Amino acid sequence: MALSNVLEIPAAGFNFENAARNAALEERFGGGKTPKPLKTGTTIAGVVFKDGVVLGADTRATSSEVVADKMCAKIHYIAPNIYCCGAGTAADTEKTTDILSSNLAIFSLNSGRNPRLVMAASILQDTLYRYHGTIGANLILGGVDCTGNHLYKVGPWGSVDTMSYMAMGEFWDLAAMGILEDRFKPDMEIEEAKELVRAAIHSGIMSDLGSGNNIDICVITRDGVDYIRPFQESQFKDNRKNKYKYRPGTTPILTQKVVPLKLEVVQETVLRMDTS
């Protein structure tokens, strides 16, 4: 079955187009420390409930020890009925989900059908497996399709797991998973499910420096999607105005020097425009 790709179907095997460029870039730093990729730190979670799926994520993106983005959106749109949480390298999760979203949109137009979760998971698995772990994307895919409510976890090496509740966090003991293991029940109501995911993300935020700020929640049901951003705001907010426009005259002018540029006309051509 040929999937219409936005770009052409990639050739088999690895793609080493950027190897030479990367080597040249590293040389530029003269053996010093190259800039680190932006990681999402992250706590993400997903839960299947009676009428659909709830996805949750924190909103902090870190670059080493600096918080690079306080309001990062980690729940990515894939299709009207499918959303995906991403952990790992921010650029990788962003791009992979973008490409998946485009391909599924083309598929929908070609076939006239809404995409299914299992198809999205298979495409992700295929793409990530081909790159053998070099794409650092840990994804939790969730949504509702004609076959029911589904949740899939895809690892960077291309392994796929499907469960009714799952979480990914910074540390291997997975604070968020502890909350889910304790309080998950099959066929929960919507408010219960939202509260469970919120608690799971909250515990991740409390236990891990790489996760923090606000909590985003995305509820997907047969009737539609409720993307609540933010669902819970961090208590630790600052009141920066983020406005840096100054009145003219704020900075005093001490001296002024005008240097006229001497230009001479070397050539003049007139092109008549044909307006008939």
Partner 1 sequence: MLEENEPEWLSEEVKTGTTILAIEFADGVVLGSDSRVSAGASVVNRVMNKLSPLHDKIYCALSGSAADAQTIAEVVNYQLDVHSMEIGEDPQVRSAANLVRNISYKYKEELSAHLIVAGWDRREGGQVFATLNGLLTRQPFAIGGSGSSYVYGFVDAEYRRGMSKEECQKFVVNTLSLAMNRDGSSGGVAYLVTIDEHNTEEKVILGNDLPTFYDQ
Our finding on whether 29 is near partner 1 (CB under 8 A) is no
Binding residues for partner 1 restricted to 212-271, rule: CB under 8 A: none
> Residue 42 catalytic?
yes
How do 82-88 and 137-145 pair as beta strands?
Answer: antiparallel
Of 113 and 132, CB closest to partner 1? 132
Contacts to partner 1 from residues 36-95, by CB under 8 A: 36, 39, 62, 64-65, 87-88
Candidates 4-12, 103-111, 148-156, 225-233; binding stretch for partner 1 (CB under 8 A): 148-156
Of 150 and 194, the one with the shorter C-beta distance to partner 1 is 150
Q: Which of 91, 95, 114, 158 binds partner 1 (CB under 8 A)?
A: 158
Tell which positions 161-220 bind partner 1, by CB under 8 A.
161, 163, 170-174, 209-210
CA dist., res. 130 & res. 265, Å (int): 60
Structure tokens at 271: 């092109």
> With respect to partner 1, which residue has the nearer C-beta, 88 or 115?
88
Q: Which residue has the tokens 């990515």?
A: 76
Q: How far apart are CA 155 and CA 193, in angstroms?
A: 24
Which residue, 131 or 227, is less far from partner 1 as judged by CB?
A: 131
Judged by beta carbon, residue 114 or residue 125, the one nearer partner 1 is 125
Is residue 26 involved in binding partner 1 (CB under 8 A)?
A: no
CA distance 222 to 81: 8
By three-state DSSP, how is residue 98 classified? Answer: helix
CB of 161 to partner 1, least distance (A): 4
Give me the sign of the Cα torsion angle 157, 163, 166, 172. negative
| 219 membership: H or E segment, kind and range | strand 215-221
Give the separation between CA 215 and CA 231, rounded to whole angstroms. 6
262 SS3 class = coil
Rounded to a whole number of angstroms, the minimum distance from the CB of residue 265 to partner 1 is: 60
Catalytic: which of 40, 42, 89, 93?
42
What six digits make up the tokens of 40? Answer: 């999402």
**What 3-state class would DSSP assign to 200?**
helix
Residues of this chain that interact with partner 1 (CB under 8 A) are: 36, 39, 62, 64-65, 87-88, 125, 128-129, 132-133, 136, 138, 153, 155-161, 163, 170-174, 209-210
Q: Looking at the annotation, which residues are catalytic? A: 42
